[in-house]
Structure 1
């Protein structure tokens, strides 16, 4: 299923992006409504340390989430994402936030580039159904 991991960070939310390997390549996966699955984690200020990178260390203790079909938050804004946004935030320091401008984005078989301007204003719900793993 979704076993290719491409982490990237936005100003107020960390995204852990997985692409559906049944489509062979990331570039093909973004063309399908079930091509990507994203776990979104809200962040609030405080220090958190990273020693050996393990994505589960980025998850809060509570794993309750909202889920909905949507799009990428950066151009070309493909409608290919099944979003899972965790209810509980994690904490980060202002120094860690400042480092985000130095992050690099690497997608398999594509050139490495700086991760900049990777945000998008809130969009209308339209006919999307938002579900929750909790009541």
Structure 2
């Protein structure tokens, strides 16, 4: 069975925070043995335009890389998705120590950090803002980070961090293809869930990569130094 984890309220969130009273709140603890193989699920189609990468910025509680979400064709489709979803941004979640940082867990195992690539349904909605709270509005790819060898693509982001030490500061990153942050094996779990930050809307199709990517402890440290059950199915047999 897939179990829900309690949602902590971040101290830097501002304004009213909705009470997560729905039945599809994220993140969850993935019970691998209890996930159901769905032969109808096809591989996820991923194609990003590296030139649509605009900047990396310090939101005050996240290190976030923004993309021009008006770029047609830069995003994902297939898999559990009925429409094409355009890439909006990616960001990282981490913990106070390198052993405890991911939002989702697998069989109660916590990874040092978790990458989220956020996409919006550009077929059904006119803008990202509208899609955030809309039905099937968002699709988020989740990638776990484990400690090991340095990750070459991630280093591009790490190298830009000294320029965004202060809240709301931004720095150009240049052309960047987020495909380089995805694992070689694209097997995934998927479920219908919610945003993990306000407004906590239950508008997200989660696509959690089964295989983590390997990053150096120093890379995680640099990023961290900046600042009811629903069906869970899997694409792999």
- Alignment TM class, shorter chain as reference: 0.7 to 0.9
CA distance in 2, matches of 1:95, 1:73: 26
Say if 1:13 and 1:41, in contact at 8 Å, map to a contact too: yes
Say if 1:4 and 1:20, in contact at 8 Å, map to a contact too: no
* 1:48 maps to 2:131: no
Q: Normalized against structure 1, the TM-score is what? A: 0.76
CA distance in 1, matches of 2:224, 2:126: 30
CA distance in 1, matches of 2:208, 2:199: 21
- Superposed CA deviations along residues 59-107 of structure 1, whole A, max 9, x for unmatched, are 111110000000001112111100000000001112211232476xxxx
* 1:58 maps to 2:164: no
CA distance in 2, matches of 1:95, 1:53: 21
CA distance in 1, matches of 2:207, 2:128: 19
Q: Which runs of 5+ in 2 are unaligned?
A: 1-83, 95-112, 157-174
Pairing of 1:1-135 with structure 2 (within 5 A):
1-11=84-94, 12-21=113-122, 22-46=124-148, 47-50=150-153, 53-101=176-224, 126-135=228-237
The 1:24–1:4 alpha-carbon spacing in structure 2 relative to 1, beyond 3 Å, is farther
CA distance in 2, matches of 1:33, 1:131: 19
CA distance in 2, matches of 1:56, 1:100: 19
Say if 1:34 and 1:81, in contact at 8 Å, map to a contact too: yes
Give 1:131 shift: 0.6
Say if 1:5 and 1:18, in contact at 8 Å, map to a contact too: yes
Q: Which runs of 5+ in 1 are unaligned?
A: 104-115, 117-125
CA distance in 2, matches of 1:20, 1:100: 29
CA distance in 2, matches of 1:34, 1:95: 37
Q: Normalized against structure 2, the TM-score is what? A: 0.45
Say if 2:87 and 2:117, in contact at 8 Å, map to a contact too: no
CA distance in 2, matches of 1:4, 1:84: 14
Give RMSD over aligned pairs: 1.7
